[in-house]
Amino acid sequence: MPGTILVVDDDPIAVRLMKLALEGEGFEVMTSAGALEALRTVQGKLPDLILLDIMMPDVDGLQVIRHLRSMPGVVDIPVILVTAKAEVDDRIMGLRAGADDYIVKPADPREVVARVQAVLARSKRAAVGRQRRVLAVVGARGGVGTTTVAVNLAAALTAPETPVVLIDLHPYAGTVAWQLKLKGPSLADLVALPPDGIGPARIESALVALPFGLKVLLSPPIGTNLAELPAAAITPLVRGASALADYVVMDLPHSLTSASRQALELSDMALMVLAPDAVTVACAEEVLSLLQSYGLRGDAVGLVVVNRIQTMIAVPVAEIERKLQRASLGVLPPAQDELTVAERKGSPLALAAPPTVASMAVREMAERVRTRALAGSARAR
């Protein structure tokens, strides 16, 4: 259960006692002496729970909790108020402001730890019903349509009640921006920060929103002096994006760098995109071995077969599934004309109206991914 706890209190003795007790139980503890400092801390690194005093010199703790409950990615973080205000009316005001529990000072540090553990356990049980899945899309080799699959999967999963973030993890010149006709901030604006500065609020400010609800984090543009994404930035990036959406879809470059590996190790599921030809299937076997070594096994890896060109020498899908020992999540038919029209419009094929054979195949693939995600991927940790 141990995680990261943020203790917000201007009383250094109280902070020290709570810090010692929590660290003794294996928790990582961050501290802030004031409310404004705490809000800046949360924007940089997301804690698992906040212990918050009410009476502080800069901003009242109740105002802080109301602000936290309005911040993207922070709204679900449990907050326990720890305060000398012991009247029943004070407790009621604190709980109505959004607190998950209320502890009156002076409190025995053992009670604080027990309350923290209980609130975290409740929060974990409540989170089980939420989807929040991280999906990595990787090609068996270059040129098989990996970005097209990632873009259309993210678009098909997006709904008013299902926020989705699409991240183009190419270190430069990724083609998500080109396919969706987007301009704006990019990964370069985030990875230049220290890892503890990459939090949900910073990520939210770098996202480009599309009219149908999908939010996109673009790859750095051509000319950016970034040969490779720093691996240290990937964990806070993925966790921060996960706090903002039910699904995070990552478009990975074909070359599996240390950053790509970190992204895959944080994924709940990987979709390996391949063409139905003998060379690509052979490459897929190698990539599959790598994915398994990263902990993605069993149902945590699915296949997406993309038929870019109708050919008489295509390897049958049944043979691909047998050779790679896993079922396909989708088989996308040749649709070059439709893809060209979609790319000119900057609108994903999945949203084609009226629907086409290809767009229906994309949506069926997304529904299989959704079903498997809801069932819980078999993931070895």
Q: What is the DSSP letter of 218?
A: B
Euclidean distance between CA atoms 100 and 121, whole angstroms: 12
Provide the number of structural domains found in the chain. Answer: 2
In a domain, 381, yes or no: no
Query: CATH number for the domain including 206?
Result: 3.40.50.300
Same domain for 121 and 140? no
The one-letter amino acid at 175: T
Q: Do the Cβ atoms of 214 and 158 come closer than 8 Å?
A: yes
Rounded Cα distance, 194 and 233, in Å = 8
Say yes or no: 173 and 312 in one domain. yes
In the prediction, which pLDDT does 1 show? 57
Domain identity same for 193 and 230: yes
Exposed / middle / buried, residue 77 (Cβ in 10 Å: 0-12, 13-18, 19+):
buried
Same domain, 238 and 323: yes
d(CA 200, CA 73): 6
**Do residues 102 and 142 both lie within one domain?**
no
Residue 108: C-alpha distances to residues 18, 82, 101, 319, 320 (Å): 9, 11, 15, 64, 62
Q: Are residues 189 and 64 in the same domain?
A: no
3-class secondary-structure state, position 202:
helix
Integer Cα distance of 199 and 56 in angstroms: 25
Residues 109 and 254 both lie in one domain: no
Reading the block at residue 16, the tokens are 């020290």
Structural domain includes residue 54: yes
CA-derived radius of gyration, the chain: 23
CA angle at residue 141 from 137 to 144, to 5 degrees? 70
pLDDT at 279: 93
Cβ–Cβ under 8 Å, residues 357 and 349:
no
Tokens encoding 316 = 């049958």
pLDDT per 10-residue tile (average), the chain, 381 residues? 86 91 92 86 82 85 82 76 86 86 88 91 60 86 93 94 94 89 90 85 92 94 75 90 92 88 90 94 93 84 86 81 91 86 86 87 92 59 34
pLDDT of residue 139: 95
Q: What's the domain range around 121? A: 4-127
- Which residue in 116, 124, 106 sits closest to 7, CA to CA? 116
C-alpha span between 42 and 69 (Å, rounded):
12
Q: What is the pLDDT at residue 379?
A: 39
